[in-house]
Amino acid sequence: MRILFHDYAGHAFPLQLSRSLAARGHQVRHLYCGSTLTPQGELERRPDDPESWDIRVIDLGEEIPKTKFLKRYGMERRYAGLLAEQYGAWRPEVVISGQTPSIAQLPLAKLCRRDNVRLVSWIQDIYGIAAQKMLRKRLPVVGQLAAAHFIRIDKRCARMSDALVVISEDFRDIFLRWGIPDDRIHTIHNWAIIEQLPVGQRDNSWSREKALADGMRFVYSGTLAMKHNPELLLQLAKRLGNEEAGEMVVISTGPGVEWLRQQQAKHPDAAMKLMGFQPFSELENVLASADVLVAILEPDAGVFSVPSKVLSYLCAQRPLLMALPAENLAAKIVRESNAGLLVAPDDIAGFCEAGMRLAHSPDERAAMGAAGRAYAEANFDIAKITDRFEAILSGQCG
């Protein structure tokens, strides 16, 4: 097949999938957005990449803002036009598009319908519903109108797709209500590249270069955006500092980190180290440097966001400390695999108590870390994952 593989975010695991498809003889052009701030995978060709695999960036020349909604809307419209140009230049037989904002997804869906090209929409989030949850507090009237508009777009895109790949069964009922036949909806959970995330040494070249403290290390690595509450990280850092029990290391960029930086100046007692995103090549060492890996998500994110960082965390054989909605898929995975401790997103006291429990329980940390790694080894087989996507792309599954 001649495949246009569009992963807006440029994350590591979709890159692994597109490379795997190319290794099976398909012609694959991988597209990603160069104007969004998020952890990304290996975006350059490697010596071992198949000749049939090509990668291109769609770059708007500046970062797409998350909170300046009018500017964001205009930039995503520009992005949609550039994506359409890439589609026309490649002339695919099948398109897979994931993590794509509604504004860009709709023109792509129209092009596929016009040209009778099979469209597989990879649903990592339902943008209209996410916008509804996030904007109703910030912009009660305008936000609701905007969210309703995006939900209408999302419905059209879903109905124009030949197949939907959803990352959680929780999405299925929504699409069934929107009129999508059940046999066009396929659930494939997200994964991490376990081959590139072996269990590493706590003290390594990266931890030494960054001069991490010798005591307990809580590491948060990933996005700090509108779906996250950095107050959780600050309060745990203060507790660690006051009790001389360790250090909170936050690896991220954006408004959440800037807020933490301001608070750090006001609270010198907080044991916290802040740094920007690290190269993907260092991810193994970043995760290995932790004693506990941390993930947070706002209550309103619910089932509609599955933090990919959690899946990478599981590979590292380290326990997880998470403040997530109980119904979130990542929370369910960690709870059922016994890979960490979970509290409600608004339970700051409980989050700090759970953190201190892990700080003082080396045997429990070891058992949870081993359980997480066992889950990853059992579920992150790229060959089996590629089999399922290949069947869906070819139309042999649904």
Are 217 and 178 contained in the same domain?
no
Are 272 and 153 contained in the same domain?
no
- Average of per-residue pLDDT across 41-67: 92
Residue 81 CB partners (closer than 8 Å, separation 6+): 107
What pLDDT, on the 0 to 100 scale, is given for residue 307? 76
Backbone angles phi, psi at 292, to 5 degrees: -140, 135
Please state the three-class secondary structure of 96-115 as a single string. EEECCCHHHHHHHHHHHHHH
Are 36 and 167 contained in the same domain?
yes
- Average of per-residue pLDDT across 366-385: 97
- Average of per-residue pLDDT across 97-124: 95
What pLDDT, on the 0 to 100 scale, is given for residue 133? 66
Between vectors from CA 171 to CA 166 and to CA 173, what angle results, nearest 5°? 130
What pLDDT, on the 0 to 100 scale, is given for residue 299? 78
Sheet of 217-221: strands edge to edge?
Answer: 272-275, 247-251, 217-221, 292-296, 320-323, 340-343
Residue 155: both structure tokens together: 């419905």
Residue ranges making up the domain that contains 49: 2-191+381-394
What letters, b where the CB count within 10 A reaches 16 and e where it falls short, cover 380-395? bebeebbeebbebbee
What pLDDT, on the 0 to 100 scale, is given for residue 136? 64
What pLDDT, on the 0 to 100 scale, is given for residue 141? 63
More confident residue, 93 or 300: 93
Side chain identity, residue 276: G
User: Could you tell me where the DSSP H helices lie in the chain?
Assistant: 12-23, 69-90, 102-115, 127-138, 140-160, 172-177, 205-209, 231-242, 255-266, 283-288, 308-315, 329-337, 348-359, 362-379, 382-394
Residue 150 Cα distances to 37, 153, 195, 344, 372, angstroms: 22, 5, 38, 29, 36
Are the beta carbons of 162 and 395 closer than 8 angstroms?
yes
- Decide if pLDDT at 365 tops 90: yes
Q: What count of Cα atoms within 13 Å lies in the side-chain half-sphere of residue 72?
A: 11
Are 60 and 185 contained in the same domain?
yes
Are 351 and 259 contained in the same domain?
yes
Q: What is the pTM of this model?
A: 0.83
Residue 95 Cα distances to 84, 146, 155, 285, 375, angstroms: 12, 28, 18, 35, 31
- DSSP, collapsed to helix, strand or coil, labels residue 40 as coil
Query: How many folded domains does the chain comprise?
Result: 2
Q: Give the DSSP letter string of 252-281.
A: --SHHHHHHHHHHHH-TT--EEEE-PPPGG
Residue 211 Cα distances to 122, 133, 204, 298, angstroms: 40, 40, 11, 31
The CATH number linked to 124 is 3.40.50.2000
Residue 51 CB partners (closer than 8 Å, separation 6+): none
Number of residues assigned to the chain: 398
- Decide if pLDDT at 289 tops 90: yes
Are 186 and 262 contained in the same domain?
no
Residue among 184, 174, 177 at smallest CA distance from 304: 174
Strands 53-58 and 27-33, bridge-based pairing = parallel
User: The tokens 């609270």 sit on which residue?
Assistant: 267
- Decide if pLDDT at 398 tops 60: no
Are 366 and 276 contained in the same domain?
yes
- Decide if pLDDT at 368 tops 80: yes
**382-394 and 12-23 are packed helices; what angle lies between their axes, rounded to 10 degrees?**
70
d(CA 113, CA 110): 5
The overall average pLDDT reported for the chain is: 92
Residue 363 CB partners (closer than 8 Å, separation 6+): none
Are 178 and 200 contained in the same domain?
no
- Decide if pLDDT at 44 tops 80: yes
Are 129 and 201 contained in the same domain?
no
Are 177 and 206 contained in the same domain?
no
Are 24 and 156 contained in the same domain?
yes
- Decide if pLDDT at 242 tops 90: yes
- Decide if pLDDT at 345 tops 90: yes
> What would the pLDDT profile of 118-155 be if each residue is shown by its tens digit?
999 999 888 777 666 666 666 666 667 777 888 999 99
Are 174 and 282 contained in the same domain?
no
> What would the pLDDT profile of 152-203 be if each residue is shown by its tens digit?
999 999 999 999 999 988 889 899 999 999 999 999 999 999 999 999 999 9
Residue 390: both structure tokens together: 């290949």
